[in-house]
Structure 1
Amino acid sequence: MVDSRTGLSIQNCLTTKMKFLVDMGISLRTVSCLRGDGYDVVHLRDEGLQRLPDNEILIKARIEGRILLTDVLCYLQLSQRLLVTDNRASMPTHLEAHWSEGGYIWG
């Protein structure tokens, strides 16, 4: 069976390693762990793109076929999506920090 969107067979999807584009807010330790597990990982810092605007980061990830690892609150703001979570322990603190930096959440 072939996926109509990607043209890949199910077997290829199961054996192909995921590719990641890692945003500046994600630690280099995470990058190292993923690389150690054999994943194809590019951190924005690797390519000197520390100041690449968010919308261009999304475009880069899509063009390169990479999964974007980023700060979820910034992604939600940019993509105009709602946040649904049951994380009552740390999420209020993350939201307060996001809002204090001028961020917002749709909805």
Structure 2
Amino acid sequence: MTFQRIVVGLLILVIAGLAGAFYIDWKLATQLRTVKAFVEGYVFADAVAACEKAPSSTPFKWNGGTRTAVIGLNSVKLDKYTVSASYTLVADNVYCDYDPIKKKADIGSNFLDRD
């Protein structure tokens, strides 16, 4: 009888622990989405301006484009200590990667090949 009570008590603790972990994960994911949306909104105007001014043989026209899309804020961990961020926009099949740290736009570039 004592063994059964111990097993039931441990089972209840495991279920409560899992429920707590899922709740914390849900709260953190919600906060992360909120922060990402805020950062994307903050960077958007700078990204559009930099992409339209970037020198390229194929001009980037966000305001005059017929098909525009925001791919969003991405990051790649290049090594143990370096994370590189990119905000990508597409206007009429012309891709533009904007680096919010360096405030530099590259049109038609591959994000992984940038400096």
TM-score (norm 1): 0.24
Larger Rg, first or second structure (1 or 2): 2
TM-score normalised by length of structure 2: 0.23
Q: Give the structure, 1 or 2, with the largest relative contact order (CA under 8 Å, sep 6 or more).
A: 1
